[in-house]
């Protein structure tokens, strides 16, 4: 958002890219990497002064971010031959019952390598995840980019769009979803919580902002 005509402010997490050293000077709360990208060193509010050409980050205390072992929701942004990339947008808890916890202050980067997708051998990642899928995953580390796993029946796709008509598909079993509109079936790693009323309201909100 623009708080003043020459100043841009937005929430950031550690590691978020803020600009390049050709564009700005790296101020407090930031650092410049060897690649010339200025990144946030702390979680907080990035302040980009376009007149002074300097970027800083005002730290925020007690900011809620994932830790190792957190259960998170994310949208698949890219599927490659050996990794799935996601934008993480919220945290949930699965115990004692599944429920939504909170949204993150900004989208966080996450990745599931082919070894952490499922307990079985994965030949083709595209048979498990596709861009736009809403996924429940668990974090393996405590900072961005987050390493994720979807091993286990509770992890995997919660919501997905039909690749033909765009309708939200319904789970058939742990490896298949069906479109209620055109009846097309597509392979996915389906979470055992897909369709759960305990998460449906919040995840559907995430789905709306993802596809908007």
Domain boundaries, the chain: 2-59, 71-211
| pLDDT for residue 212 | 46
Q: Which residue is listed with tokens 């994310």?
A: 74
In this chain, the answer to whether the domains covering 2-59 and 71-211 adopt an identical fold is: yes
Are the C-beta atoms of 97 and 87 separated by less than 8 Å?
A: no
| pLDDT for residue 188 | 97
CATH class of the 71-211 domain in this structure = mainly beta
pLDDT per residue as tens, the chain (212 positions) = 444 568 888 878 778 889 999 999 999 999 998 899 998 888 788 999 999 999 999 887 766 789 999 999 999 999 998 999 999 989 999 988 888 888 887 788 999 999 999 999 999 999 999 999 999 999 999 888 899 999 999 999 999 999 999 999 999 999 999 999 999 999 999 999 998 776 765 565 556 555 54
- Residues 15 and 205: their CA atoms lie apart, in Å, by 26
| pLDDT for residue 45 | 87
| pLDDT for residue 210 | 54
Q: What is the pTM of this model?
A: 0.74
Backbone angles phi, psi at 68, to 5 degrees: -60, 130
CA 45 to chain centre: 19
- Residues 106 and 139: their CA atoms lie apart, in Å, by 17
For residue 32, count other CB atoms closer than 10 A to its CB: 17
CATH number for domain 2-59, candidates 3.40.50.200, 1.10.150.20, 2.40.50.100, 3.40.50.720: 2.40.50.100
Query: How far apart, in Å, are the Cα atoms of 127 and each of 47, 79, 96, 189, 190?
Result: 42, 10, 31, 8, 11
| pLDDT for residue 1 | 41
| pLDDT for residue 150 | 98
């Amino acid at each position: 958002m623009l708080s003043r005509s020459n100043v841009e402010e937005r929430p950031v997490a550690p590691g978020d890219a803020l600009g390049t050293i050709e564009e700005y000077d790296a101020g407090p709360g930031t650092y410049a990497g060897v690649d010339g990208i200025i990144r946030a060193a702390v979680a907080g509010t990035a302040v980009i002064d376009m007149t002074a050409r300097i970027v800083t980050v005002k730290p925020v205390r007690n900011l809620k971010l994932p830790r190792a072992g957190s259960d998170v929701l994310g949208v698949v942004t890219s599927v490659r031959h050996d990794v799935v990339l996601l934008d993480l947008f919220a945290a949930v808890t699965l115990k004692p019952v599944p429920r939504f916890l909170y949204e993150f202050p900004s989208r966080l980067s996450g990745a599931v390598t082919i070894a952490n997708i499922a307990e079985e051998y994965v030949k083709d990642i595209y048979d498990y995840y596709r861009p736009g899928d809403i996924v429940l995953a668990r974090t393996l580390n405590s900072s961005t980019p987050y390493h994720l796993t979807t091993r286990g029946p509770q992890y995997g796709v919660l919501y997905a769009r039909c690749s033909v008509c765009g309708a939200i598909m319904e789970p058939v079993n742990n490896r298949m979803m069906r479109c209620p509109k055109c009846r097309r079936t597509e392979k996915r790693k389906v979470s055992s919580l897909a369709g759960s009323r305990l998460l449906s309201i919040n995840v559907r909100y995430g789905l709306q902002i993802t596809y908007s």
